[in-house]
Amino acid sequence: AQTVTQSQPEMSVQEAETVTLSCTYDTSESDYYLFWYKQPPSRQMILVIRQEAYKQQNATENRFSVNFQKAAKSFSLKISDSQLGDAAMYFCAYRSDRYSGGGADGLTFGKGTHLIIQP
Amino acid sequence: DGGITQSPKYLFRKEGQNVTLSCEQNLNHDAMYWYRQDPGQGLRLIYYSQIVNDFQKGDIAEGYSVSREKKESFPLTVTSAQKNPTAFYLCASSSDRGNNSPLHFGNGTRLTVT
């Protein structure tokens, strides 16, 4: 079974600064997908960014980018120019490749990192 | 607008009573999921369904039951056998068309059992 580890229960950053949230995972599979979700105080789960393991290029979505290191099984999220609205819980998630027999059971989540934005 | 609707937002029950949480989606998604969220625990999978009339246990299925009689609906029943039912419950769906299909989530139901 796959596991996802987020080693930072809480992070704090000054508004407009850059912050990086860490995520590592354990898997024996070669094909899989990785996601970052944001959960603000409303508790709505919002997809931030996704990465296919077969792609070497790191995914980017506006101020959000990832550093995907497949050999190290690391998938960190970088938030640039942090804004007050970025304050939330951030969850890293893993999904197996369904054509390899996995993926049908949804995502495996880490325990989350609480991001605080200081004005 | 398409989306996932969970109801009610807050639910209170006495210990020993079964309770059913509703989840409806109009996204035409094949797959649906139920997750439980506890403080400091992240999200843990309870049950999932890839197709109507079929569902599978997740990591923490004990004390829960589901049905999938319609594509749009995936209700979760928390039975009296669930030892610690108080939690935040999230329903999700995915199109299942691509491996990187993300999960779309409802707004959740906060269940409190006393």
Residue A74 has pLDDT above 60, yes or no: yes
Residue A55 has pLDDT above 80, yes or no: yes
Structure tokens at B74: 């995936």
Cβ contacts of A109 within 8 Å, gap of 6 or more: A4, A37, A91, A92, A93, B35, B42, B43, B44
Q: What is the pLDDT of residue B42?
A: 87
Q: In which band, very low, low, confident or very high, does the pLDDT at B102 lie, cut at 50, 70 and 90?
A: confident
Residue A100 has pLDDT above 60, yes or no: no
Instruction: Give yes or no for A102 touching B (CB within 8 A).
Output: no
Q: Please give the Cα distance from A20 to A13 (Å, whole number).
A: 10
Per-residue model confidence as pLDDT tens digits over A110-119: 999 999 999 9
- Residue from the list A44, A97, A109 with its beta carbon closest to the beta carbon of B43: A109
Per-residue model confidence as pLDDT tens digits over B5-58: 999 999 999 999 999 999 999 999 989 999 999 987 889 999 999 889 999 999
Q: Please give the Cα distance from B86 to B110 (Å, whole number).
A: 8
How far is B62 from chain A, CA to nearest CA, in Å? 16
Instruction: Give yes or no for A109 touching B (CB within 8 A).
Output: yes
| Weakest mean pLDDT among A26-35, A97-106, B72-81 | A97-106
Q: Which of B23, B29, B35, B43 to mutate to test the interface with A (most CBs of A within 10 A)?
A: B43
Instruction: Give yes or no for B40 touching A (CB within 8 A).
Output: yes
